């Protein structure tokens, strides 16, 4: 069912996908380009086997290749809700209209992950009271919008369900590229060393909070698996107040002090 043709082309159920981490000439219209590295795609293949997800939410569609990939990969899929702040691309709309996918794959454009209530209304309309097995966040990669959708959707996972945050280290990677280029003399050091950098708190803050919650309240977050810029946050068995859930409320006062001190010293 799954065959790799070279390093960056994978065929799932007879459907070819180009695995491209950044936009490139190969990133042609049509829902065939997956904006991920090969090991991320391999990890989804492992998770599809291990978790057998039936109800899935994807935040961040881009060309639609990842949405089609998840749909054809997950054999037990009952429903996949995919949203993006931009429009649903034609290639993805054509895929959904083919075969019997329209029943299982629901795509919505114009949805901002930062807006909790519209997002939850869509989730309610798509899944009713049924819990989610998997949420994939590959959207803004910014702290505030990512936190908003994490706080909204994490309580909707079933115990053992997985919330994936892709590319949480994006800000750090950009910082590294700039630092390397300055060191090599490629670009001059700016008068203000922080000029041009994103001065907002990076997304990594949310991941640090999740790690601290997993230590303080494992009934809320039972596991955090991090590999490079990828994170899998596993929901524990606790009852969680859906409307008002905020992960930061579950890390305990000492964790708050650790984080504040770390950021004051940075």
Contacting residues toward ligand SAM, per CB under 6 A: 34-36, 59-62, 65-66, 84-86, 111-114, 138-140, 145
Nearer to ligand SAM, 104 or 116 (CB): 116
Q: Which two tokens stand for residue 100?
A: 């019997």
**Phi, psi at 7, each rounded to 5°:** -75, -25
Q: How far is the CB of 69 from ligand SAM (least distance, A)?
A: 8
For the CB of residue 150, give the shortest distance to ligand SAM in the complex, in Å.
Answer: 13
Q: Report the residue number, 139 or 234, with the smaller CB distance to ligand SAM.
A: 139
* 102 or 144: CB nearest ligand SAM: 144
Give the nearer residue to ligand SAM in terms of CB position, either 86 or 189.
86
Task: Kindly tell me the burial class for residue 168, based on how many C-beta atoms sit within 10 Å of its own C-beta (0-12, 13-18, 19 or more).
Answer: buried
Query: Residue 167 or 209: which CB sits closer to ligand SAM?
Result: 167
The least distance separating ligand SAM from the CB of residue 190, rounded to whole angstroms, comes to 27
Quote the least distance from Cβ 74 to ligand SAM, whole Å.
15
Residue among 51 and 119 whose Cβ is closer to ligand SAM = 119
Q: Rounded to the nearest whole angstrom, what is the least distance from the CB of residue 230 to ligand SAM in the complex? A: 12
> At closest approach, how far in Å is the CB of 156 from ligand SAM?
17
Residues 6+ apart with CB under 8 A from 261: none
Cβ neighbours, 10 Å, residue 116 = 16
């Amino acid at each position: 069912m799954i065959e790799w043709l070279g390093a960056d082309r994978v065929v799932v159920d007879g459907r070819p996908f180009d695995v491209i981490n950044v936009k490139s000439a190969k990133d042609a219209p049509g829902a065939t380009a997956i904006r991920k590295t090969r090991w991320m795609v391999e990890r989804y293949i492992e998770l599809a086997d291990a978790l057998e997800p039936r109800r899935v939410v994807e935040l961040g569609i881009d060309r639609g290749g990842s949405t089609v990939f998840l749909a054809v990969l997950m054999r037990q899929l009952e429903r996949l809700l995919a949203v993006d702040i931009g429009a649903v691309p034609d290639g993805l709309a054509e895929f959904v209209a083919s075969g019997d996918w329209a029943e299982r794959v629901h795509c919505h454009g114009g949805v901002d992950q930062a807006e909790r209530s519209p997002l939850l209304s869509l989730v309610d309309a798509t899944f009713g009271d049924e819990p989610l097995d998997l949420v994939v966040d590959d959207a803004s990669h910014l702290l505030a919008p990512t936190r908003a959708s994490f706080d909204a959707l994490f309580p909707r996972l079933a115990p053992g369900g997985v919330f994936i945050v892709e590319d949480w280290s994006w800000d750090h990677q950009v910082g590294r590229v700039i630092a390397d280029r300055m060191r090599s003399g490629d670009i001059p050091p700016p008068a203000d060393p922080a000029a041009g950098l994103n001065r907002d708190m990076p997304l990594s803050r949310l991941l640090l909070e999740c790690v601290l919650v997993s230590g303080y309240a494992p009934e809320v977050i039972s596991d955090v698996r991090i590999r490079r810029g990828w994170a899998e946050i596993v929901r524990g068995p606790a009852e969680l107040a859906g409307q008002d859930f905020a992960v930061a409320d579950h890390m305990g006062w000492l964790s708050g002090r650790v984080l504040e001190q770390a950021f004051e010293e940075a």
